[in-house]
Amino acid sequence: MSRHDEAASRSLLIHAAQVLGTVLTFEHPADAVLSRHFREHREIGHRDRAFIAEAVYGIVRRLRWLRRLVGDDARPRTLLLAWLARGEGWPMRHFEGLASATERDWISGIKARELDEGSLGERTDLPDWLAERLLATHGEAELVELAHSLNRPAPLDLRVNVLKTDRDELVGKLKADGIDAKPCRFSPQGIRLAGKPALQKHPLFLEGAFEVQDEGSQLLGFLVQPKRGELVVDFCAGAGGKTLQLGAMMRSTGRLYAFDVSEKRLAKLKPRFARAGLSNVHPVLIAHERDAKVKRLAGKADRVLVDAPCSGLGTLRRNPDLKWRQTPESVAEMVAKQGAILESAARLVKPGGRLVYATCSLLAEENDGVVDAFLAAHPEFRQLSAKDVLDKQGIALDTGERLRVSPREHDTDGFFAALLERAPADA
């Protein structure tokens, strides 16, 4: 929602510049900064919160372009005014009463300013190191397109809870409530909404008929392909979106272990499991990937999902600040951790069992690099074709042996996954 049709207030611009100033230190995630500001300022209404959030995210997405446009005086307020003038295309009359005469003269100059093409990092609004890394696996034109797709806000996707309803029925009920909903292109459980309706208090959400989950993330469940009565492990359960999907696909039978190192995250999961109608989920707090609780399941799991902690660069549509908060050093630390987690998770897979390694990163070293190193060290595992496994479930998605989806080609978050199988005992 942009306010092309109505002027904002002076206090709203002050709030937006305050939040932006804190976000631009990149010490905390942008969504956490916004949440805290709104908790501390409960007088800010729903529409004004949306305005502040969208302005902040817009500026963080296009930060390099805006800093070039503004020049040396790149304070939060000047970045905000430049964004409203150029990014949102506000006419000059919207700035009357909001900006001083001097500021309005400056805004006129910003509206007229033209920039040269700039470096690859500047054209893609990425830090130089990241543009260079991505250039190694994408052509320049493809990288520019990818960056543009990452700089657009993500759509809102839902996943139908197959324990409670089916997709067609849910789409019909949402439409009856005036929510513009349609089936997703790839995920058989996915529904894409046209807008961003508030859903936390919607009766269908409260009764567990759906969860919010990106379509790309939903596809990982179809690679795991859990069956009724199996023993399945979600090795890095996190917020639990994929755990909920796996539990529903198992029809709440068998045993589904949700491992995580965060007690807080696991505590938040319990009400979600109850709402979803799942009784087969066992949350397990672990200290690290080599915890004794992990070792107890060695060689017992039919299927293990490793949705590894990663740089998150495939989620820049939702978390644009990540590109400024990650560094080559933080990525190198991630890669070491990913290798160790995959190594430990693999020990749980029984002969003939399946292991899915996934990230929401676009970087080769977090994806192919980790899987290739693992396969080289573990001849007892072989790769299965992600394309073939999805095909058999009616999902036509030609991404080759390993799953790769991106906002540029699939209008999903950027996900990578490799599907591995342990050799049967008699092999």
Q: Could you give the residue numbers annotated as active site?
A: 360
Neighbouring C-beta atoms of residue 344, cutoff 10 Å: 21
Q: What residues contact residue 225 under an 8 Å CB cut-off, 6+ apart? A: 249, 303, 354, 389, 393
How many CB atoms neighbour CB 34 within 10 A? Answer: 18
Size of the chain, expressed as the number of residues it contains: 427
DSSP string, 157-177: EEEE-TTT--HHHHHHHHHHT
Q: In whole angstroms, give the CA distance from residue 303 to residue 118.
A: 48
For the chain, report the end-to-end CA distance as a whole number of angstroms: 59
Q: 330-341 burial string, b = 16+ CB within 10 Å, else e?
A: ebeebbebbbeb
Token duo for residue 39: 């908790």
The contacts of residue 304 (CB under 8 Å, 6+ apart) are 232, 233, 235, 345, 346, 348, 349, 353, 354, 355, 356
Query: Cβ(413)–Cβ(314) under 8 Å?
Result: yes
In whole angstroms, what is the distance from residue 254 CA to residue 232 CA?
Answer: 8
Phi, psi for 317 (deg, rounded to 5): -60, -35
Place of tokens 């000059």: 92
The one-letter amino acid code at 235 reads F
